[in-house]
Amino acid sequence: MDAKLPVDKRVEALLGQMTLKEKIGQMDMVTVWDREAIFKNGYYDFGAWLADLEPEESNQLQKLSEQTRLKIPYLIGMDAAHGYAMLTGRTVFPTSISMAATFNRELVLRTTTKAGEEIRSAGTHWAFAPCIDIVQDARWGRTGETYGEDPFLTSELVKEAVRGYQGNEDPLKRVAVSVKHLVGGGASVGGCNHASAELSERALRSYFLPPFKAAIEAGCMTIMPGHNDIAGVPVHASKWLLTDLIKKEYDFKGFFISDMGDVGNLAASLHQVAENQKEAIRMSINAGLDMHMYSADSMRFVAPLIELVQEKKVSQERIDDAVRRILKIKFELGLFENRYVSPEKDNYGSKENKDLALEAAREAIVLLKNKQQILPLDKNKYKKILVTGPNADNQSILGDWSIFQPDDHVTTILEGIQTLASPEQSITYSNSGRIKLRSPICRSTPQILLSSKG
């Protein structure tokens, strides 16, 4: 196909060659965790993979796409709350809650641009970020992935994030974003992920939806609906929200990708609004969902949806609309001409990127309390320092979505203090969560630093 043709013409030409099964295959995202079963099955007509892979591994997946009849390249996507910190050795950029604390649009643009370059150089084209839920309950476990509680601030920063990830001057360094989670998860009952959100349309439009509208106006390519329901209607089954509001009223030209397992959750114990998996697929696709993430057996999505079309319970027009949206983004990302990446050009963890991450982290620091001007600690004044609390020497609290970083890439609170202390200073650590300030160790230490739960 002539790469010089307009994208819309290329999409229509390809769509006209596709069978129903091939179209529905494009609407399915499988996971690299199931690749052995997929290889054994020998069926590779999928639209996307959920995977965190090195460049060589990404190229191996793309070779499978060339074994299909039409050789349509895969989208490969993964979460990117810390940049591409899910992949070993990549630069760990601050999360959105930290970037929000900078109030710096330009810094968000710069960090997401560099994060996008690292993502694309690994053969991944799709970042499940940023999270633009508006948080009303800080107990919600996804708060750290968001820009916080302010709709205006979130709207301003998400526009820069979209431009950073998707707007690189070099098209081979761009990645699609998936802003998430539409909508209301940050106001869930009890601050529980997956829980209901009791929100009126007025609250949605005035408080929770403005960041999504801003992202759409900035050109975001995909949107991920949330796990939650709104006033009893699961977001993944809400035609009013997905189609009438977002696609039609807000003129969203990209596609919706489900959150993991949330099509099945319509039938499972979470929502219980569908009788079975097939009915859950019907409800979500007719509501406006375009791509399904994921089931261990792809045929749990592809085969039932073929039946639903044959039974006229899902229209051919709805299928074509979804596939058009998916193919359009694959063409816009240049995947048909550049599905493979060069491992030699995998530019990650560079000094430039690490310096930028450090700059962002420093600018994000907020000093909430400093009685008697104790901070910064005077090395000449405080010779004995006690660091206490079970999380002071705990790597796991230093950022979600970064679990695969090697230990020597992470500095704990205790390690940082020990590194910066002078030889004349004595640093004592107690990992007890119940240490009393009247205990002998505390009475002998004039300065005490508490970590979380300390």
Catalytically active residues are 259
406: left (phi over 0), alpha (psi -120 to 50) or beta: beta
- β-bridge pairing 28-31 and 292-293: parallel
Q: Which two tokens stand for residue 205?
A: 């439009």
Radius of gyration (C-alpha) of the chain in whole angstroms? 24
Q: Tell me how far apart the alpha carbons of residues 427 and 448 are, in angstroms, rounded to a whole number.
A: 10
Q: What are phi and psi of 35, to 5 degrees?
A: -65, -35
C-alpha to C-alpha distance for 388 and 400, rounded to whole angstroms: 22
Cα separation, 125 vs 120, in Å, equals 5
Pairing of strands 384-388, 447-450: parallel
Strands in 254-332 per DSSP E: 255-256, 292-293
Axis-axis angle for helices 299-310, 277-287 (nearest 10) = 70
Of 236, 247, 132, which is closest to residue 178 (Cα–Cα)? 132
Residues 6+ apart with CB under 8 A from 252: 216, 223, 246
Identify the DSSP state of 69.
S
Distance between CA 264 and CA 107 in Å, rounded?
Answer: 39
Structure tokens at 361: 């982290």
